Amino acid sequence: MNSDLNLSNSDDYEPADASGDSPFGTATPGLKRERPAMFQGDLAELLVQMKQQAELIAIDDISDEKWNALGEYCMQIWSWNQSINLTRHTTPELFVKRDLLDAWHLAKLIDPNEEILDIGTGGGVPGILVAILRPDVEVTLCDSVAKKATVMTRVVDHLKLNIPVHPLSVQKVLEDFRYDSLTARAVGPLVRLCTWLQDDWHKFRRLLAIKGPKWVDERGEARHKGVLKNIELRRVAAYQMPDTESESTILQLLRPRG
């Protein structure tokens, strides 16, 4: 890992994916949390464990080439995670049962050759994983936290993936670019997402948002605050969250045209 970035290593460790959608709950400012257990093996061992976990939850149709890329991604992210908080999913089991499972289901919903913007990408989930699983699509990442965007640039360069990374908010990116789909996971509740995008729905076709079991409450709040007016919301996928009694959901939001 390159170490020439000015990345803080705070003792107040908070989960990067802390939100209502995270199995780890919402981060509390000032609350110290232990860093998660970190995988200590090499790439070969990692791939064996990842494939075993994938088989347990019926993730299939991933070639060896893609598995190798996923393994390299994990090794990179977990190395950087020691300097900047990107993820709490730092074991093969958690990566497969959380990150890969979400991206695998999302990838099935994407049309051939789509252009995708992964907003608030953080550690590159689901954007980088979708790019690996679906090499036919064009993926772009954005994150308003410049340090995270810089690390993601290093990661995609290491993986030799053609993925632009913007250290900008989604609104800033949409000032200059257009996309077929926007993707989001653990970025914020629906009311926040829709507020961010309220003036930009004509610049992309749809938003695909990965949500946890609180999505119904989020929909109610968004409707109450009027940010879903003229927006069509549909649940396009639902699947069990392993080792829990809850479901993950992928929502499609779009503004009908015509």
Per-residue pLDDT tens digits for 195-221: 999 999 999 999 999 999 999 999 999
Cα dihedral 92, 37, 124, 71 sign: negative
Looking at the domain assignment, is residue 208 inside a domain?
Answer: yes
pTM (two decimals): 0.88
Residue 107, domain extent: 43-254
Joined tokens for residue 223: 């409707």
List pLDDT tens digits, range 102-160. 999 999 999 999 999 999 999 999 999 999 999 999 999 999 999 999 999 999 999 99
Listing from the earlier edge strand, what are the strands of the sheet with 115-119? 165-166, 138-142, 115-119, 179-185, 204-211, 247-254, 232-240
- Give the whole-angstrom CA distance, residue 96 versus residue 114: 24
Total domains, the chain = 1
Per-residue confidence (pLDDT) for residue 257, from 0 to 100: 78
Query: Would you list the DSSP string of 126-146?
Result: THHHHHHH-TTSEEEEE-SSH
Query: Tokens 């009908």 identify what position?
Result: 256
Q: Is residue 15 part of a domain?
A: no
Dihedral sign for Cα atoms in the order 198, 181, 216, 89: negative
Q: Which residues make Cβ contacts (< 8 Å) with residue 216, sequence separation at least 6?
A: none
Q: What is the DSSP letter of 186?
A: S
Closest CA to 35 of 20, 18, 14, 21: 14
Query: Residue 82 is part of a domain; what is its CATH number?
Result: 3.40.50.150
In a domain, 76, yes or no: yes
Task: Please tell me the predicted confidence (pLDDT) of residue 7.
Answer: 54
Give a yes or no: residue 30 inside a domain. no
**27 inside domain:** no
Residue 80: inside a domain = yes
Encoded amino acid at 217, one letter: D
Q: How far apart are CA 84 and CA 61, in angstroms?
A: 32
> Which residue, among 41, 40, 39, 62, has the nearest Cα to 51 in the 3D structure?
62
Alpha helices in the chain (DSSP H): 43-56, 64-80, 92-94, 101-107, 127-133, 146-158, 170-173, 190-197, 215-224
Average pLDDT of the residues of the chain: 89
Does residue 181 belong to any structural domain of this protein? yes
Q: What is the pLDDT of residues 7-43, one digit of tens each?
A: 543 333 333 443 334 332 333 444 445 667 889 889 9
Residues near 150 by Cβ (< 8 Å), separated by ≥ 6? Answer: 5, 167
